[in-house]
């Protein structure tokens, strides 16, 4: 068991070193370093892959004598990891890492200059490698199943499509009711918010929520993310706009929600492949909970409003707490996913979920993707991107080779409300403590029911043990009807 643990820890360290190189790529690395860096990351990733799938690992797993529940879970889960990794040739793993490294540089340039044709050949290559990847992994129904399973283990395309359709059937009337109602005044969040104060206000707030800066830090990147180098070093990035309060503040809450999950993993799992989020859906449920269910609630602003007024006295002097609450919750279909409101966000995800299936199956050619994107934006959200930068080029994911990732965002939205309702049921009162700036009861509940387990419990096991139910669209729909019915008077 000890030999197995030592070997797995070495593999984990290689992955963590690659994560540091990738973090640097997003935050500090000069643009010209991209190609060399892509090769370095590919080297580390393929070394980890070779060590994991080597005969020595298989022998250690077969001969291991588990002495604890953690050992039992470790052997069970790593056996599954090895079985999956063995299906993928290390040459393909290295090719995907290298293609992604190059594509990301091209995507950044294409996005900055609104030049989709510059990115298209890279995306072409990524789609081709993704098809090879799906074939190597195997699938029951369609190639997209294999890609989705990488991020949301156990989920199938068909299941996800069914759940999304339930949401969409109810979302459309909700969006229609909102569009028929008088719009909320968004001007309170569009005043001047000095960038340095946005930075410190967000960081101060997530520390109060429980993000531990002794084991974390915040930097700037084009697309905000969180990343873990160990349970004791979990970082976030943010970006800000001077005349828009929401991106930096709610982005910081979002990424800190991810980071608090990783910081809350049982320290006994440090260095082991169990010390990770169990699925991206569960991961996203944590970020969405702090961003939306806490950060966009009346209870939270009862606490945070005086602090916000102190921090931004010039901009907020003539605004009431209720006006501010309404401004941060305004629903308005827009072209940009990361700035989308809680109501329309899921439609942005469904669009990507469908287009991904279509480019993988070949039903849509890469060159036709911008137009297919724009047409669906018009028919689902009623808005047309003015450029590809605001359309098909807005997200980093495809350039990273992450096809099958997007649906986990909407799954996370659904799971966040399921878990939040279970926390309220168990704790009796959530809004009271939050309105006094006491986030410990909620964070403690999440530590116990979600965070500590790392990968030891699957997404489905987390949901069933914490809430008593499997994944369901209904809690999110009930939440959306109640909250936005109240805001928009329907
Ligand atoms: Zn997220």
Query: Pairing relation of β-strands 233-238 and 218-220?
Result: parallel
The residues annotated with a catalytic role in the active site are 255
CATH number of 157-488: 1.10.1370.30
Q: Are 353 and 395 in contact (CB under 8 A)?
A: no
State the Cα–Cα distance between residues 163 and 135, nearest whole angstrom.
Answer: 26
Query: What's the CA-to-centroid distance between 68 and ligand 1, angstroms?
Result: 33
Query: What's the CA-to-centroid distance between 259 and ligand 1, angstroms?
Result: 10
Spatial CB neighbours of 326, under 8 Å, sequence gap ≥ 6: 184, 185, 487
State the Cα–Cα distance between residues 291 and 341, nearest whole angstrom.
Answer: 11
Residues facing 244 on adjacent strands: 241
| Residue 180: both structure tokens together | 């028929």
Query: What's the CA-to-centroid distance between 185 and ligand 1, angstroms?
Result: 27
Q: Are 229 and 19 in contact (CB under 8 A)?
A: yes
Query: What's the CA-to-centroid distance between 402 and ligand 1, angstroms?
Result: 14
Query: What's the CA-to-centroid distance between 5 and ligand 1, angstroms?
Result: 30
State the Cα–Cα distance between residues 156 and 149, nearest whole angstrom.
Answer: 7
Query: What's the CA-to-centroid distance between 416 and ligand 1, angstroms?
Result: 12
3-state secondary structure 337-352: HHHCCCCCHHHHHHHH
pLDDT band at 175 (very low <50, low <70, confident <90, very high): confident
Query: What's the CA-to-centroid distance between 145 and ligand 1, angstroms?
Result: 21
Q: What is the pLDDT of residues 411-465, one digit of tens each?
A: 999 999 999 999 999 999 999 999 999 999 999 999 999 999 999 999 999 999 9
Q: Are 260 and 208 in contact (CB under 8 A)?
A: no
CATH 1.10.1370.30 boundaries in the chain: 157-488
The shares of helix, strand and coil residues in the chain, as percent rounded to the nearest 5, are 70, 5, 25
pLDDT band at 154 (very low <50, low <70, confident <90, very high): confident
State the Cα–Cα distance between residues 275 and 403, nearest whole angstrom.
Answer: 24
Q: What is the pLDDT of residues 31-86, one digit of tens each?
A: 999 889 988 998 999 899 899 999 999 999 999 999 999 999 999 999 999 999 89
> 3-class SS at 307?
helix
State the Cα–Cα distance between residues 449 and 290, nearest whole angstrom.
Answer: 16
Question: Given this model, what pLDDT does residue 269 score?
Answer: 98
- pTM (predicted TM-score): 0.91
């Amino acid at each position: 068991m000890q030999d197995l643990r030592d070997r797995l820890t070495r593999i984990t360290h290689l992955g963590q070193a690659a994560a540091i190189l990738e973090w640097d790529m997003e935050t500090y690395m000069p643009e010209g370093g991209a190609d060399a860096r892509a090769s370095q990351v590919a080297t580390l990733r393929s070394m980890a892959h070779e060590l994991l799938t080597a005969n020595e690992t298989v022998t250690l797993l077969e001969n291991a004598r588990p002495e604890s529940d953690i050992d039992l879970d470790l052997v069970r889960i790593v056996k599954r990891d090895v079985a999956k990794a063995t299906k993928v040739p290390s040459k393909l793993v290295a090719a995907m890492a290298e293609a992604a490294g190059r594509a990301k540089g091209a995507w950044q340039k294409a996005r900055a200059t609104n030049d989709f044709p510059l990115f298209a050949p890279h995306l072409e290559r990524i789609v081709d490698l993704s098809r090879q990847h799906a074939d190597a992994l195997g699938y029951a129904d369609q190639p997209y199943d294999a890609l989705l399973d990488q991020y949301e283990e156990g989920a199938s395309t068909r299941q996800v499509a069914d759940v999304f359709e339930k949401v969409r059937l109810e979302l459309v009337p909700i969006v229609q009711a909102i569009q028929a109602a008088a719009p909320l005044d968004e001007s309170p969040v569009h005043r001047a918010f000095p960038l340095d104060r946005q930075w410190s206000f967000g960081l101060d707030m997530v520390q109060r929520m429980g993000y531990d800066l002794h084991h974390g830090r915040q930097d700037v990147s084009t697309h905000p993310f969180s990343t873990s180098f160990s349970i004791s070093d979990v970082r976030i990035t943010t970006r800000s706009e001077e005349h828009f309060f929401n991106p930096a503040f709610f982005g910081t809450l979002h990424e800190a929600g991810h980071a608090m999950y990783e910081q809350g993993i049982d320290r006994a799992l440090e260095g082991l492949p169990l010390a990770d989020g169990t699925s991206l859906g569960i991961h996203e449920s944590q970020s969405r909970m702090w961003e939306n269910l806490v950060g966009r609630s009346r209870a939270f602003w009862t606490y945070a409003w005086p602090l916000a007024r102190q921090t931004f006295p010039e901009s907020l002097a003539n605004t009431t707490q209720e006006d501010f609450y309404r401004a941060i919750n305004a629903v308005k279909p827009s072209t940009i996913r990361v700035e989308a409101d809680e109501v329309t966000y899921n439609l942005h995800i469904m669009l990507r979920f469908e287009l991904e299936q279509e480019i993988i199956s070949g039903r849509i050619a890469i060159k036709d993707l911008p137009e297919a994107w724009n047409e669906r934006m018009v028919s689902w959200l009623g808005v047309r991107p003015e450029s590809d930068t605001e359309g098909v080029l807005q997200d980093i994911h495809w350039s990273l080779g992450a096809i099958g990732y997007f649906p986990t965002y909407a799954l996370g939205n659904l799971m966040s409300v399921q878990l939040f309702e279970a926390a309220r049921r168990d704790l009796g009162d959530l809004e009271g403590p939050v309105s006094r700036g006491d986030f410990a009861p909620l964070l403690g509940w999440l530590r116990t029911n979600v965070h500590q387990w790392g990968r030891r419990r699957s997404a489905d096991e987390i949901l069933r043990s914490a809430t008593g139910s499997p994944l369901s669209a209904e809690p999110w729909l009930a939440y959306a009807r109640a909250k936005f019915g109240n805001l928009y008077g329907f």
